[in-house]
């Protein structure tokens, strides 16, 4: 599809509202997915670190108990 000018391109043959709205909603959805994924990844990594630290403390306490 060829456009005579940039304003013709932006008008999208009279369908600009629908075209640009769909692009905008798609972009917002993709950004939302990326943000949610990163937040979930951080949350899971923090939970994993917490569990590992708890396990280390438990092992250290068990070793102290066994030496007594």
Each residue's pLDDT tens digit, 6-61:
888 888 888 889 999 999 999 999 999 999 999 999 999 999 999 999 999 999 99
Give the per-residue pLDDT at 51: 97
Give the per-residue pLDDT at 66: 85
Reply yes or no on whether the pLDDT at 1 is more than 80: no
Q: What are phi and psi of 4, to 5 degrees?
A: -75, -30
Q: Is 48 exposed, middle or buried (0-12, 13-18, 19+ CB in 10 A)?
A: exposed
Which whole-number Å values give the CA distances from 68 to 7, 28, 57, 65, in the listed order?
Answer: 83, 60, 17, 5
Give the per-residue pLDDT at 23: 95
Question: Taking a C-beta distance cutoff of 8 angstroms, is the pair 16, 10 a contact?
Answer: yes
Q: How far apart are the first and last CA of the chain?
A: 82
């Amino acid at each position: 599809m060829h456009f005579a000018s940039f304003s013709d391109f932006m008008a999208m043959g009279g369908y600009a509202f629908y075209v640009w709205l769909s692009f905008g909603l798609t972009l917002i959805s993709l950004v939302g997915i990326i943000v949610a994924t990163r937040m979930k990844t951080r949350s899971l990594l923090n939970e994993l670190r917490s569990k590992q630290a708890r396990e280390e403390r438990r092992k250290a306490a068990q070793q102290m108990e066994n030496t007594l």
